[in-house]
Amino acid sequence: MVEYDVVIIGAGSVGVPTALATANDDLRTLVIDSLPSVAQADNKHAIGGIRATHTHKGKIWLCQRSIEIFSSWEEKYGDDIWWTQGGYTFLAYTKEHENLLKDTVNLQKSYSLNINYVDAEKIKELIPGINDDNLLGGTYSPEDGNASPLLSLHAFFRRSKALGASYHFNEKVIDILTQNNKVIGIKTTKDQYKTQSIINATGAHAKEIGKIIGIYTPVEPESHEAGITEPVKKIFTPMIVDIRPCSDPKFGDSKNYYFYQNKEGKIIFCLTPDPNILGTDRRETSSFLPQISKRMIQILPRLKNIKIRRTWRGLYPMTPDGNPIVGKVNEIEGYFNSVGMCGQGFMLGPGLGELISRVLTEKTNSKDKEILETLSYNRDFGIEEELK
């Protein structure tokens, strides 16, 4: 039976950058995935936004490190992952949202984030042609950005393999082997492997892996849809986020929506349905495009003649408080969670992978311990993050 220092279940937005970090730290690493190749679950459904401007300090610190990794990747390794530092803009069209955004900016600045609340004139400069009826202003964080999820994950995959990580595809985990409440190995549909450390990085399927070992994992997948247009000349630079809810009796209600223009000039967009759509159904709907196109054209009328190339539907693995579950589980020594990314696995993944590797190599620092405490499996899930 082959032995590894760590076995990672899941070759997606979290599992692959974690393998990159563990292999870089000289840990014998195996990644197991039931799908045929890397990034074939919900990573390929991600739209690519990357921001550190959260209100949860653990996510802020993790994403700050992720941005460092994304932004320096091409210079270090030669792979163009379409990193663009276009920033993020959250818009305020009501006094309530203006006050909310100003409050979050004060908190974010306390963590040394480069973000400001700006007036409507600055917003019109950042987003030429924006509908300024009742526009009060918004936040602008210039160091946030975007990259291609598929290009990034394949770059991380190749680099992790060069460092010695092994990947087994088309192989499903069917048992986690323990002795005296300690992990001793893992069994799949094809083989068994010795290991003392297992990381659950299975996204929407985190609860299923937890059940194998008798650990309840409060992660529930929700369906979200996205789409992409034909390429057009550059219109705007930042990710645009409209946090207003919308009532649509014909096609269905929605919460926030967001969109940006990528390196090819294509506009990528996503919307949060209301109510949330629980489950693992990834089939596209006929209501999504009428819902979001009406909202996007209302806010930026110049989009109205751009052709839509395609739409798709992916899963957000949600937790009760909208924050990930990361770190060890006290009941089983050697079993670690890295799950419940709530649709932000792509932006959290690189920073999170390094954190997990420091846990395994016993090199955590004081900031790591703070992050792990706030994202602990045993935390109080009663307080939700603002603007999650």
State the DSSP code for 385.
P
Q: Please count the CA atoms within 13 angstroms of the CA of 127 that sit on its side-chain side.
A: 31
Residues 226 and 286 in one domain: yes
Q: How many domains does the chain have?
A: 2
Same domain, 240 and 329: no
> Which of 318, 333, 361 is the last residue in one of the domains?
318
pLDDT of residue 103: 96
**Is the domain of 63 the same as that of 155?**
yes
355 pLDDT higher than 90: yes
Tell me, yes or no, whether 158 and 139 share the same domain.
Answer: no
Same domain? For 291 and 224 the reply is yes
pLDDT recorded at residue 46:
96
User: Which residues constitute the domain of residue 18?
Assistant: 6-75+149-219+322-374
pLDDT of residue 238: 98
Would you list the DSSP string of 224-238? EEEEEEEE-S----S
Domain membership flag for residue 381: no
CA contacts within 13 A on the Cβ side of 132? 12
Both 105 and 19 in a single domain?
no
Q: Is residue 267 a part of any domain in this protein? A: yes
Domain co-membership, 173 together with 314: no
Mean pLDDT of 144-158: 98
Task: Return d(Cα 17, Cα 20) in angstroms, integer.
Answer: 5
- What percent of the chain has pLDDT above 70? 99
Pairing of strands 6-9, 198-200: parallel
Q: Which helix (H) or strand (E) holds 219?
A: none
104 within a domain of the structure (yes/no)? yes
pLDDT at 113: 96
Cα–Cα distance measured from residue 193 to residue 184, given in angstroms and rounded to the nearest whole number: 9
Instruction: Answer whether residue 385 shows pLDDT above 80.
Output: no
- The domain boundary residue, chosen from 302, 318, 334: 318
Q: For residue 26, tell me if it sits in a domain.
A: yes
pLDDT value at residue 1? 84
Please tell me whether residues 46 and 167 are part of one structural domain: yes
Write the CA distances from 85 to 49, 113, 149, 208, integer angstroms. 10, 15, 15, 37
Same domain, 251 and 311: yes
Q: What is the per-residue pLDDT for 268?
A: 98
Q: What is the CATH number of the domain that holds 59?
A: 3.50.50.60
Q: Which of 294, 318, 342 is the last residue of a domain?
A: 318
Whether 65 is in a domain gets the answer yes
Q: What is the pTM of this model?
A: 0.96
In a domain, 169, yes or no: yes
Residues 140 and 188 in one domain: no
Check whether residue 67 and residue 178 sit in a common domain: yes
pLDDT at 382: 81
Confidence of residue 228 (pLDDT cuts 50, 70, 90): very high
Question: What's the rounded Cα separation, in Å, for the pair 209 and 132?
Answer: 48
- Is 184 domain-assigned? yes
In a domain, 275, yes or no: yes
Give tens-digit pLDDT for 169-224. 999 999 999 999 999 999 999 999 999 999 999 999 999 999 999 999 999 999 99
Q: Is the pLDDT of residue 388 over 70?
A: no
Look at residues 357, 344, 379 and name the one whose alpha carbon lies nearest to residue 63. 344
Q: Which residue has the tokens 């997606």?
A: 12
Q: What percent of the chain has pLDDT over 90?
A: 97
CA distances from 40 to 13, 36, 232, 272, 382 (A): 10, 7, 28, 22, 33
pLDDT band per the 50, 70, 90 thresholds, residue 135: very high
Per-position DSSP letters for 253-282, written without gaps between them: EEEEEEEEE-TTSEEEEEEEEES--BS---
14-52 pLDDT, tens digit each:
999 999 999 999 999 999 999 999 999 999 999 999 999
Same domain for 155 and 68, yes or no, is: yes
CATH of the domain at 273: 3.30.9.10
